[in-house]
Amino acid sequence: MKNSIAERVSDFLKDYPPFNKLTNKTLLKIAIEVTITYLEKGDTIFKKDDVCHDSFYVVRDGAINLYYSNEDVKEITNIHDTGDLFGLRPLINKEPYKLTATANEESIVYGIPIEVFQSLTDKNNKVQKYLITAFASNAFDPYTEEEAGKIFVDYLPSTSQDIVNFQTANYTKSPITCTTTSTLQAAAKKMSDHKIGCIVVVDNEKKPVGIITNSDIKNKIATGLFPIETPVTNIMSSPVMTGKKGLTIAHGQLQMIKHSIGHLCITKDGTVNSKLVGVLTHHDVLVNLGNNPTVILKEIKRTKRTKKLREARLKGNTLLRSYLEQNIPISHIINVISEINDAVTIRAIELALKKMPTAPPVAFSWLALGSQGRNEQLLFTDQDNALVFEDVPENKYEETQTYFLELAKLVTASLNKIGFEYCEADMMASNPEWCKSLTEWKNQFKSWILKPDEKAVLLSSIFFDYNRVYGNKELVDDLTDTIYTTLAETDIFYKFLARDATKSPSPLGFFKQFLVEKNGEQKELFNIKNRALMPLIDAARVLILSKQIRGVNNTSERFEKLAELEPNNKELHESCSYAFKALSKFKTKQGLLRNNSGKFIDLETLTKEEKLKLRRCFKPIQEIQDILKIRFDLKNFI
């Protein structure tokens, strides 16, 4: 008999994982068995230690809180919204619930009977994996952390999990402190009394000046470096890294990754110059997250084999996929993936250095170029890199270069194995042309800038976006200084760059149709990289170089910086930044879909909405090109 309700239930479920992996027929069979439950705010679905229900749940409307309850302490671990699953424990084992689930607001949930569900999805591997992963990522139990890492290999998107990243971090609100005049012994006593792993040293105004952790005591006291009566100021780490009240978990986590620290002091205004209000520890972050970039980065840093690096980088890809599906802001995705890419490269270099018969004869730096240099690389793309080494006497030059070429070959080979294709144009450090001493590099850039030609402009799009990934910082700073001084001497180079940035016209044809490739293998496909992304990247580069701004490599950040510097063009720059992010996201999604770089898009596969979205992004391209034409006076420049 017809059951309209079941049809509607199944209509709802089909949009959410894991139900989106089932056929309509199976789904309808499941839908018939569903129990629809209405919940008032505060109603409990199950309590900690309750016997397992024979259903698991999907939120239809409203939101469900899951929390640990310890006597009177309630610690919310997750809030589930429409489409999220919860109460998955009975799928895994028949132990009582570990969490309590209550309605955060008036809600309607669907109960899916496990027996029916399992008998219908028994042979569907994807569904099983999804559920196990969803379960693991919901159980924020530090003891399953290792296991969660393993499950992550098969990580399928969970809509509930990574949202947590953007919730406000739950930090310790009443941190234990000691004053600058305390002795270490007193501080250690306090730590052991409170059973904590760190103590913040504060001044008279309660501003944090330093931090002492267990490892400080282990490394500096237990080794006999300092006597136990030493003032805390002697052994504390200072200054402390700080964050603002209300910072997100994702942000806190990124800070920790960046500075390789485990503790973030939360202060009133987010700087060391205001009162300490809390401490966010690495552990707090981990408790908030099941699977996370930190775990991947840790793995990368520890690995001893290239094969493992590849696995780790692949996990980055699945992470990327799930981030995209969950609409995490693209700028954050880029940050995380860039960190992973950089970490992979660093580790590959470290491993290569170990394989070399001797240590490097002089200091050197490994530069990432192109998209990796701009920190915009989301998918596996070509590797573009270069190497700069310290100046050596002329008679030593060849010998030194040979050493670094050998090293570069090892690195590029393992990067290739990891999944970064060799650069077709051979723009890699293993090419003698791009593995040079500092002085040689300076001369190279000078000639590009002062005597620009087509080739120079072509290369500039890659070489002017370099970023030091590994090695000596001074070498790179020195090179950058020279480049900016040379740039100040001439205008002609900017003209070349600007002309290049305006050479590919708006991606829309006269009749507002997309301009597609006319020949070759990619015929009738839309080249989103060349036609939409490159014009934005090129425009951002020439504008930021002409403003002599350093250290901002990322295209969207460049536009944001430009918006700040040119208030009259603020809106345009902001929309360029937005367009760039939107387009990169689009390209990345396409790439994931087709398992390639996502450069070419088959317009046939796009929905009307997607096409409209793309079109909207093209508008600022034309406007920014107009600006370039005027600013660099391109009208009379041939």
Partner 1 sequence: MIFNWFRKNKKEYPDFWIDYLDSFKAPKKDKVDTTRFVAFDTETTGFDKKNDRILSIGAVSFVGKSIQVKESLELYLEQEVFNPESVKIHGIMKKGSLEKVTELEAIKLFLAYIKDAVLIAHHAYFDKTMVNEMLLRHGLGKLKNEFVDTGYLFNKSKHIIYRESLKEHYTLDDLCKELNVPKVDRHTANGDALITAIIFLKILSRLDKRKSLEWDYLLKA
Closer to partner 1 by Cβ: residue 4 or 260: 4
Residue 38 contacts partner 1 per CB under 8 A = yes
Out of 13, 27, 39, 300, name the contact with partner 1 by CB under 8 A.
39
Residue 9 contacts partner 1 per CB under 8 A = yes
Out of 16, 43, 63, 406, name the contact with partner 1 by CB under 8 A.
43
Closer to partner 1 by Cβ: residue 27 or 247: 27
Name the 3-class secondary structure at 65. strand
Distance CA 336, CA 601 (A): 25
Out of 63, 76, 88, 108, name the contact with partner 1 by CB under 8 A.
108
Q: For partner 1, which stretch binds (CB under 8 A), given 4-12, 123-131, 143-151, 434-442?
A: 4-12
Smallest separation, CB 58 to partner 1 (Å):
13
Measuring CA to CA, how many Å separate 540 from each of 36, 552, 555, 624? 53, 10, 6, 9
DSSP per-residue letters across 511-527? TSPBP---SSTTTT-EE
The set of residues, in sequence order, having a beta carbon less than 8 Å from that of 286 and lying 6+ positions away, is 142, 145, 292, 294
Q: For partner 1, which stretch binds (CB under 8 A), given 2-10, 185-193, 300-308, 460-468?
A: 2-10
Residue 362 contacts partner 1 per CB under 8 A = no
Measuring CA to CA, how many Å separate 262 from each of 253, 259, 285, 286? 9, 9, 10, 11
Give strand ranges (E) for 390-486: 435-437, 467-471
User: Contact 397/488 with Cβ under 8 angstroms?
Assistant: no
Out of 81, 106, 145, 610, name the contact with partner 1 by CB under 8 A.
106
Residue 40 contacts partner 1 per CB under 8 A = yes
Out of 21, 33, 351, 549, name the contact with partner 1 by CB under 8 A.
33
User: Contact 40/103 with Cβ under 8 angstroms?
Assistant: yes
Q: 605-621: buried (b, 16+ CB within 10 Å) or exposed (e) per residue? A: ebeeeeeeebeebbebb
Q: Distance between terminal CA atoms of the chain? A: 76
Smallest separation, CB 31 to partner 1 (Å):
6
User: Contact 83/158 with Cβ under 8 angstroms?
Assistant: no
**Which two tokens mark 117?**
């569900």
* Binding track over 62-101 against partner 1, x by CB under 8 A: ----------------------------------------
User: Contact 396/376 with Cβ under 8 angstroms?
Assistant: no
Smallest separation, CB 77 to partner 1 (Å):
25
* Binding track over 554-593 against partner 1, x by CB under 8 A: ----------------------------------------
Q: For partner 1, which stretch binds (CB under 8 A), given 31-39, 295-303, 338-346, 351-359?
A: 31-39
Residue 36 contacts partner 1 per CB under 8 A = yes
Closer to partner 1 by Cβ: residue 120 or 200: 120
Q: Is residue 70 within a helix (H) or strand (E), and if so which, with residue range?
A: strand 64-70
Residue 196 contacts partner 1 per CB under 8 A = no
Q: For partner 1, which stretch binds (CB under 8 A), given 9-17, 208-216, 253-261, 335-343?
A: 9-17
Distance CA 217, CA 235 (A): 8
Distance CA 507, CA 510 (A): 10
Closer to partner 1 by Cβ: residue 9 or 296: 9
What is the 8-class DSSP label of residue 569?
G
Out of 26, 37, 172, 233, name the contact with partner 1 by CB under 8 A.
37
Residue 637 contacts partner 1 per CB under 8 A = no
Closer to partner 1 by Cβ: residue 35 or 118: 35
**Which two tokens mark 220?**
């500096």
Smallest separation, CB 178 to partner 1 (Å):
49
Out of 22, 34, 387, 537, name the contact with partner 1 by CB under 8 A.
34
Name the packing angle between helices 608-631 and 492-502 (round to 10°).
160
Amino acid letter, 110? Y
Residue 167 contacts partner 1 per CB under 8 A = no
Task: For strands 64-70 and 600-601, give the pairing.
Answer: unpaired
Smallest separation, CB 57 to partner 1 (Å):
11
Out of 16, 20, 21, 32, name the contact with partner 1 by CB under 8 A.
32
Distance CA 492, CA 637 (A): 10
Out of 13, 22, 27, 31, name the contact with partner 1 by CB under 8 A.
31
Q: For partner 1, which stretch binds (CB under 8 A), given 33-41, 160-168, 445-453, 589-597?
A: 33-41
Closer to partner 1 by Cβ: residue 46 or 632: 46
Q: 75-103: buried (b, 16+ CB within 10 Å) or exposed (e) per residue? A: eebbbbebbbbbbbbbbeeeeebebbbbb
Q: For partner 1, which stretch binds (CB under 8 A), given 39-47, 93-101, 195-203, 315-323?
A: 39-47
Smallest separation, CB 51 to partner 1 (Å):
17
Distance CA 100, CA 534 (A): 51
Closer to partner 1 by Cβ: residue 1 or 638: 1
Distance CA 198, CA 183 (A): 15
Smallest separation, CB 79 to partner 1 (Å):
18
Q: Is residue 80 within a helix (H) or strand (E), and if so which, with residue range?
A: strand 73-80
Closer to partner 1 by Cβ: residue 85 or 423: 85
Which positions lie near partner 1, rule CB under 8 A? 1-6, 8-9, 11-12, 31-40, 43, 61, 106, 108, 111
